[in-house]
């Protein structure tokens, strides 16, 4: 790094909020200034969001494990920093060495959520990299996207040279080989074309296969993650105990995208968790997965960890209503006060529609078990605006909040109930991918009713912002024209759209209007069952025929059983090398 750039950065840091977002030097950071190849790994949101992302921590360790490679991190600068950088001519730089991002060999950007899309353009522009892949030259980095939202690459395809589909632990090694083997950008792109899990937009909509990490070995679980200087959304150690889910909830993208189920043995989880605690200073350990209470060895892992670290705060962020109580009871300790359950829907009819195979009795039993285990704060997640929803379903959420309060009072002691209702957004690669969102006015009416009807004593109600939900819906199933909207909105001032105080709704309305459409029109659009979908060339492993059959089943209000307990449902995810990986 040039001394002049160093001085410019230091001068600017004195003028912005939270300069610790940009200085690097955290515990467990890796610096390899002599490495021949440099990869910048970007989470396109604020530092405190990105530093907690496990996927980037996995990639950081994976890239740095190769002797000739260095991985360095970059996050989207907050607007005060971005504006100052532009004013002073400072390019976007990495945290480890303050190296300009435009000088790296490859820039990898994780797409975890659609509301970061405008930040992707902000990152590219600040780095001095042309935002359109077709305008990049031989000296520009290869810009590659990954993450769950990349499963529909169409809305952001013009901004990326390539997309990596799926899980990185094995297949991403081929990407690093391509970067290492060719001396120039053109040669590297030719090698990337040969990787089955790589989609290159400039070559057209060719089929691309999602990469699956079949072994799911504990050796790829980071044991020395970077520890943030400043506040982060999650300040705790974490071990991924299970990947994939077979519950088949029809709204859930992750439940399709991460099939099949793979688990790590309890003894490996225990050792990895304790190792991570030893080099981070954290006093909390989270056992993560899409549904941790479904993890076969959850009790064994919890008891083993508590035996070795009895004062540790154990966190189970994902708990099923039907399997959660046993895990909750095992994990509870005197320091832990809050627990989360996710019924998603409050009536049996709607649970059958969305394939949430739980009953009222299971929900009430889980609530009682949580309070009896000593948890004083209960949070429950629901959705409104689901397909074929009636007023009874909305009323059911209110009624369940009241019932939870009754159970808490019966158990005794101080407690609170927090009811959270998000707005349903249809996602690609799910049985509801053909559905549109509920109209904005209907969602607003349902939210208004819940505010009036839900008691406030010992019950707190949280409702998601309709504006950002509609934008998420418009982007999630977008097509090639959506990229034009994103660029227009970004040029109109859009950035950090997931942050309520930063959201520039008018910039998005103007951008959609210039493309002769509307945000709400895109969000509520329904696809025909035989329509070609913008993401059809991305093969998740779950067949479109299975998704279509599940959509029809939802219309018949019939739930499908969990294949781990009720037999194979022929979704397609377990054919080939992963056929025998399901846990029975």
pLDDT per residue as tens digits for the range 456-508:
999 999 999 999 999 999 999 999 999 999 999 999 999 999 999 999 999 99
Within the chain, how many helices (H) and strands (E) appear? 21, 17
pTM: 0.95
Average of per-residue pLDDT values in the chain: 93
The residue behind tokens 């959705």 is 383
- Report DSSP letters for 54-121, one per residue: HHHHHHHHHHHTSTTEEEEEEEPPPHHHHHHHHHHTPPPB-TTT--BGGGSSEEEEE---GGGHHHHH
Reported as a pLDDT band with limits 50, 70 and 90, residue 229 is confident
Least confident interval from 117-126, 213-222, 367-376, 553-562 = 367-376
Least confident interval from 37-41, 135-139, 201-205, 326-330 = 326-330
Nearest to 474 by CA among 117, 42, 46: 117
Would you give the distance in Å from CA 403 to the centre of its chain?
Answer: 31
Mean pLDDT of 408-434: 96
Where helices occur in 95-213 by DSSP H, the ranges are: 117-127, 168-181, 185-192
Confidence check: pLDDT of 509 > 70: yes
Q: How far apart are the C-alpha atoms of 91 and 490, rounded to whole Å?
A: 18
Confidence check: pLDDT of 582 > 60: no
**pLDDT, tens only, 105-137:** 999 999 999 999 999 999 999 999 999 999 999
Confidence check: pLDDT of 316 > 70: yes
State yes or no: cis peptide before 260, omega within 30 of 0. Answer: yes
Helix (H, G, I), strand (E, B) or coil at 405: helix
**pLDDT, tens only, 333-385:** 645 678 888 999 999 999 999 999 999 999 999 999 889 988 889 999 999 99
Using CA atoms of 386, 387, 388, 389 in order, give the dihedral in degrees to the nearest 10.
0
Domain 16-209, architecture per CATH: 3-Layer(aba) Sandwich (3.40)
- Residue 488 has what pLDDT? 98
List the structure tokens of 61: 């360790």
């Amino acid at each position: 790094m040039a001394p002049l750039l160093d001085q410019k950065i230091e001068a600017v840091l004195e003028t912005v909020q939270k300069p610790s977002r940009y200085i690097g030097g955290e515990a467990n950071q890796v610096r390899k200034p002599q490495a021949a190849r440099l990869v910048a790994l970007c989470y396109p949101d604020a530092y405190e969001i990105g530093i907690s992302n496990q996927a980037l921590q996995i990639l950081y360790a994976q890239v740095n494990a190769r002797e000739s490679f260095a991985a360095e991190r970059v996050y989207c600068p907050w607007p005060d920093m971005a504006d100052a950088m532009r004013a002073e001519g400072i390019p976007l730089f990495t945290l480890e060495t303050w190296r300009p991002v435009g000088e790296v060999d490859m820039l990898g950007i994780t797409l975890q959520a659609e509301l970061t899309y405008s930040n992707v353009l902000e990152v590219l522009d600040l780095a001095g990299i042309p935002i359109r892949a077709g305008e990049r030259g031989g000296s520009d980095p290869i810009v590659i996207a990954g993450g769950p939202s990349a499963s529909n690459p169409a809305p952001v395809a013009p901004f990326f040279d390539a997309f990596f589909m799926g899980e990185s632990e094995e297949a991403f090694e081929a990407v690093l080989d391509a970067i290492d083997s060719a001396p120039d950008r053109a040669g590297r792109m030719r090698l990337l074309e040969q990787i089955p899990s790589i989609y290159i937009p400039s070559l057209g909509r060719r089929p691309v296969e999602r990469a699956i990490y079949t072994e799911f070995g504990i050796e790829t679980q980071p044991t020395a993650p970077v520890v943030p200087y400043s506040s982060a959304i999650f300040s705790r150690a974490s071990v991924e105990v299970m990947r994939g889910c077979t519950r088949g909830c029809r709204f859930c993208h992750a439940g399709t995208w991460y099939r099949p189920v793979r688990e790590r043995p309890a003894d490996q989880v225990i050792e990895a968790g304790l190792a991570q605690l030893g080099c981070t200073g954290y006093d909390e350990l989270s056992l993560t997965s899409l549904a941790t209470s479904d993890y076969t060895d959850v009790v064994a892992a919890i008891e083993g960890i508590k035996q070795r670290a009895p004062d540790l705060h154990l966190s189970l962020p994902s708990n099923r209503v039907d399997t959660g109580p046993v895990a909750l009871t095992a994990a509870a300790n005197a320091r832990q006060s809050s627990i989360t359950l996710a019924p998603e829907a409050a009536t049996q009819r709607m649970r059958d529609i969305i394939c949430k195979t739980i009953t009222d009795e299971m929900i009430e039993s889980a609530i009682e078990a949580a309070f009896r285990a000593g948890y004083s704060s209960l949070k429950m997640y629901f959705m409104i605006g689901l397909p074929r929803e009636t007023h009874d379903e909305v009323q059911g959420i209110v009624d369940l909040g009241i019932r939870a309060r009754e159970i808490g009072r019966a158990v005794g002691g101080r407690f609170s109930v927090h009811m959270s209702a998000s707005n349903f957004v249809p996602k690609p690669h799910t049985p509801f991918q053909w559905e549109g969102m509920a109209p904005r006015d209907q969602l607003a009416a349902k939210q208004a009713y819940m505010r009036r009807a839900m008691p406030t004593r010992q019950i707190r109600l949280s409702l998601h912002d309709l504006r950002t939900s509609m934008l998420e819906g418009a982007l999630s199933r977008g097509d090639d024209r959506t990229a034009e909207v994103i660029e227009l909105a970004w040029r109109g001032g859009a950035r950090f759209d997931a942050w309520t105080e930063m959201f520039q709704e008018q910039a998005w309305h103007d951008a959609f209007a210039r493309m002769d459409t509307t945000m709400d029109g895109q969000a509520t659009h329904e696809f025909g069952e035989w329509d070609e979908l913008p993401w059809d060339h991305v093969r998740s492993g779950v067949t479109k025929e299975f998704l279509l059959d599940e959509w029809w089943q939802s219309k018949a209000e019939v739930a499908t059983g969990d294949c781990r307990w009720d037999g194979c449902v022929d979704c397609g995810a377990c054919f080939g090398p992963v056929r025998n990986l399901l846990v029975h």
